[in-house]
Structure 1
């Protein structure tokens, strides 16, 4: 099952979703309305090889909790992602058992290519 984990209130996510081909077969998962389950996160971890790769260091909470000045472990990244949706780097696409994390232009171009 091909899936996108996104935040409906995020302008960047909305812009990316709007650019997707209309005939995509993605299942849309709004992480604010339906928080990430441990199972979903484990699948993402398996595909990415790291919780840190899934973690957003741009999150407001990352700064306000002063996490940038702490040495975080993989267990810490996992815990924070499960605690609050804002810690997941967005969007996350899982397409044909391959993961695409974040909104970099290179990443989005790869997603568009795979979906076309």
Structure 2
């Protein structure tokens, strides 16, 4: 499976998609229009080993809701990601059984290396 979970209104996501120039065999899912399902999140978690690694602590809601002052557990991370798209660290790119989370330069370079194999 080749899939990208992203946000069409996120300039960083759009820049990365353009930079990667993905082939047509990648499925793109705008998580604002088509929310992540429980099954999709559980599949991501299996590849990532934790919900926390999928969770964006840079989200404005994270601060607004006072979550940074709380001790969150795995079930909490899952709950918040399913509750609002902004809590997913974006983009999430899945290539076969490998997952790439977020927009760091290192992550995007790893995606490029994987695509160009």
TM-score (norm 2): 0.96
- In structure 2, distance between residues paired with 1:33 and 1:4: 14
Q: CA deviation at 1:25?
A: 2.1
Q: Secondary structure, in 3 states, of the residue corresponding to 2:90?
A: coil
C-alpha displacement of 1:24:
5.2
1:87: Cα distance to partner? 0.2
- Give the unaligned 5+ runs of structure 2: none
Answer whether contact 1:24 1:115 (CA < 8 A) is retained. Answer: no
Q: Which residue of 1 aligns with 2:43?
A: 43
Count of residues in Structure 1 that have an aligned counterpart in Structure 2: 116
TM-score by length of 1: 0.97
| 1:30 alignment counterpart | 30
After alignment, is 23-32 or 4-13 more displaced? 23-32
The corresponding residue for 1:63 is 63
Structure 1: segments with no counterpart, 5+ residues: none
What are the superposed Cα offsets for residues 2-42 of structure 1, whole Å, 9 maximum, x if unpaired? 00000000000000000113535210000000000000000
Distance 1:91 1:104 in 2: 10
| Cα distance in 2 between the residues matched to 1:112 and 1:16 | 10
1:6 is aligned to 6
